[in-house]
Amino acid sequence: MSWDDVQGFLSQINERVLGLDLRLPAEAEWEYACRAGTTTAFAFGDDLTHDMANFGGDKRETVPVRSYRPNAWGLYQMHGNVDEWCADCYFGYYSGETLVDPKCPEHGSDRVYRGGSWFFVAQNCRSAYRVVWCDPGIRHDILGFRLCRGPE
């Protein structure tokens, strides 16, 4: 699904189920959930193997949720399987300074996705890795989404 498709889905479901308040996570929220309290490259340590995540073309397609063990907070497949759209627009590369929930400028249109996919190498599945400059209308079988609930 494209980022635009997800926005349409969110609009429809939030209209039909009042109080649900589903949305895409901000980049900072996504990374926080992915890390699950860790500081390593992956939620499981500094190495990622094919018995931990779907990446590197090993399966050549997505796999069902719960095909791999969850992170410490019970979230499945934060690494690999599909890249996940975030709410944020692209505002530039991080400068290296400490940032707390950076926000994009209102004029931005390109979007960011996180998590890595079944197609890419382990490095692209790291908790901190971000794909930038993505048109919100693009659709691909490596793209998906994860929703969160409540106000940002």
Domain with residue 143: its CATH number is 3.90.1580.10
Residues 6+ positions from 121 with CB-CB distance below 8 Å = 55, 56
Q: What one-letter code names the amino acid at 30?
A: W
- Count of structural domains, the chain: 1
Reduce the DSSP state of residue 3 to 3 states and report it. Answer: helix
pLDDT over 70, % of the chain: 88
- The domain of 52 spans 1-152
Average pLDDT over residues 12-20: 95
Residue 25 near residue 150, CB atoms below 8 Å:
no
What is the value of pTM for the model shown? 0.89
Q: Given a cut of 80, is residue 147 above it in pLDDT? A: yes
Distances (CA, A) of 99 to 27, 33, 102, 151: 12, 17, 6, 20
pLDDT in tens, 61-88: 999 999 999 999 999 999 999 999 999 8
- Give Cα separations from 33 to 115, 118, 122, 125 (angstroms): 11, 20, 18, 14
- Is a pLDDT exceeding 90 seen at residue 99? no
Q: pLDDT averaged over the chain? A: 91
pLDDT above 90 (res 93): no
Say whether pLDDT at 143 is over 90.
yes
